[in-house]
Amino acid sequence: MLHNNKIHIRAEVTIEEGKKEEYKKLIQDIIRAVEANELSTINYQFYLDKSETECVIWETYANLETVLVQINGVASHTILPKIHSVSKIRRLDVYGNPSEELQNVLSGTKTFNLFDVFSR
């Protein structure tokens, strides 16, 4: 029986032309807000390609409840809409064993259920 309840979310984003600096500032703003206010978020990483026109985002949450806290948090309601105004999500994947509720909230995502794990 697997006892790993972590949920990982991976997004691929395209940054609109001429919006790189605004996007980078907003990412720094959301990281600070999540770090300060959403203590159950384990990991929040943003990777830019060389041209800084594409970003891969990797998020890790302790469990399903912490994902829902983040989705309903201040950062998601204040900063995230600004990020979406300067970028477009191309792909959104959820890894772990998300509930039907989370799958409904993150509609349009591809879900990968945890099959097996080794972790230290």
Residue 3, pLDDT > 90, answer: no
Enclosing domain of residue 16: 7-101+108-113
pTM as predicted: 0.89
Q: How many domains does the chain have?
A: 1
Provide the token pair at 114. Answer: 């945890």
The reply to whether 14 falls in a domain is yes
Q: For the segment 14-30, what is each residue's pLDDT rounded down to a tens digit?
A: 999 999 999 999 999 99
Which CATH number do you get for residue 14? 3.30.70.100
The reply to whether 119 falls in a domain is no
Burial 4-19 (b: 16+ CB within 10 A, else e): eebbbbbbebebeeee
The reply to whether 25 falls in a domain is yes
Mean pLDDT, range 90-99, rounded to an integer? 90
- What is the structure's pLDDT at 39? 82
The reply to whether 2 falls in a domain is no
- What is the structure's pLDDT at 14? 98
Q: For the segment 52-84, what is each residue's pLDDT rounded down to a tens digit?
A: 999 999 999 988 888 888 888 889 999 999 999
- What is the structure's pLDDT at 2? 55
